[in-house]
């Protein structure tokens, strides 16, 4: 569990789905995660923004939002459907950093993916605010939040939660991340074949992140998934949704809401 109760520094997956409160409840029941906070919409009582802390190790954060709501309507006035991926359940990458405008500028300057990153259209002076939303060249959505170093908690190692992005050009996306995060990114391992980079496992601001070459031709709202370390991996996976076995330690789950999670049995220690 989070020792300090502070927000976690780095990148966390943010699940956007119909009836997000039920999705969050089902996730906690299956994985043993605990609620970190919940914020309801005053009118509809739906989950505007919530977070859980995972049960394994020192824990990691996963956020939840109801797809029927615009949690920024009273602040940044973000156009509702522009970041809702055509009303499909999906994952936004939520990054807590010390300077969101600076990170956004680096992302906007990069065209490593072949298409420039763009800001979701909002009011003027957007990046003068403490929060903002970007869509990168592969259609992946980023929510960038500025927080003071003293207000954040560092991720444990190894991170029990890993955000994963499947993109057509894994090498291009890795270059994009390196240009954006610089020395805040550590490359742990990668695998290649005759075509090029297949998968890169990274630490970004201490949080786990994987870039995977997409061979399915996924739509942008399917680009992101979550890897979660969970003891009793198969049982956890079966409790979450429809599963398919990847290997002896990994099960891919499609939750009822449509979001994919890879459940991984943690390595045993002596």
Residue 185, helix vs strand vs coil: strand
d(C-alpha 258, C-alpha 189), whole Å: 29
Q: Please say whether the beta carbons of 114 and 164 come within 8 A.
A: no
* Annotation: CATH topology of 161-264: 2,3-Dihydroxybiphenyl 1,2-Dioxygenase; domain 1 (3.10.180)
Joined tokens for residue 209: 């992140």
pLDDT at 225 exceeding the cut of 70: yes
pLDDT at 4 exceeding the cut of 70: no
Range name among 22-26, 46-50, 118-122 with the lowest pLDDT average: 118-122
- CATH code 3.10.180.10 region(s) in the chain: 10-151, 161-264
pLDDT at 128: 53
Give per-residue pLDDT as tens, 227-251.
999 999 999 999 999 998 888 899 9
d(C-alpha 253, C-alpha 256), whole Å: 9
d(C-alpha 22, C-alpha 30), whole Å: 12
SS3 string, 18-87, reads CCHHHHHHHHHHHHCCEEEEEEECCCCCCEEEEEEECCCCCCCEEEEEECCCCCCCCCCCCCCHHHCHHH
In DSSP terms, 199 is beta-bridged to 191, 212
Segment 37-51 shows an average pLDDT of: 89
d(C-alpha 253, C-alpha 120), whole Å: 30
76 Rama sector, left if φ>0, alpha if ψ -120 to 50, beta otherwise: alpha
Q: Is 81 exposed, middle or buried, given 0-12, 13-18 or 19+ CB atoms closer than 10 A? A: exposed
Q: What are phi and psi of 29, to 5 degrees?
A: -65, -40
pLDDT at 170: 94
Q: Report percent pLDDT > 70 for the chain.
A: 90
Query: Mean pLDDT over all residues of the chain?
Result: 87
DSSP string across 125-157 = TGGGSSEEEEE-TTS-EEEEEE--GGG-BPPPS
The CATH homologous superfamily to which domain 10-151 belongs is 2,3-Dihydroxybiphenyl 1,2-Dioxygenase, domain 1 (3.10.180.10)
């Amino acid at each position: 569990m989070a020792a300090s109760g502070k927000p976690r520094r780095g990148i966390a997956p943010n699940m956007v789905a119909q009836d997000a409160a039920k999705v969050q409840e089902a996730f906690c029941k299956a994985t043993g995660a605990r609620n970190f906070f919940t914020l309801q919409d005053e009118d509809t009582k739906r989950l505007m923004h919530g977070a859980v802390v995972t049960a394994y190790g020192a824990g990691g954060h996963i956020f939840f939002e109801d797809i029927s709501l615009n949690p920024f309507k009273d602040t940044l006035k973000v156009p509702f459907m522009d970041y809702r991926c055509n009303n499909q359940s999906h994952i936004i990458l939520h990054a807590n950093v010390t300077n969101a405008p600076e990170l956004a500028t680096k992302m906007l300057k990069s065209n490593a993916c072949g298409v420039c990153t763009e800001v979701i259209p909002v009011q003027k002076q957007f990046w003068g605010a403490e929060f903002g939303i970007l869509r990168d060249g592969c259609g992946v959505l980023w929510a960038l939040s500025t927080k003071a170093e003293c207000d954040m908690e560092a991720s444990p190692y190894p991170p029990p939660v890993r955000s994963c992005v499947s993109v057509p050009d894994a090498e291009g996306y890795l270059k994009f991340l390196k240009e954006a995060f610089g020395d805040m990114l550590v490359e742990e391992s990668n695998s290649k074949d005759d075509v090029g980079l297949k998968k890169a496992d990274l630490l970004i601001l201490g949080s786990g992140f994987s870039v995977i070459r997409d061979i399915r031709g996924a739509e942008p709202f399917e680009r992101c998934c979550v890897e979660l370390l969970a003891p009793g991996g198969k049982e956890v996976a079966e409790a979450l949704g429809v599963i398919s076995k990847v290997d002896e330690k990994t099960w891919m789950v499609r939750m009822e809401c449509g979001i994919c999670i890879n459940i991984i049995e943690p390595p045993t220690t002596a």
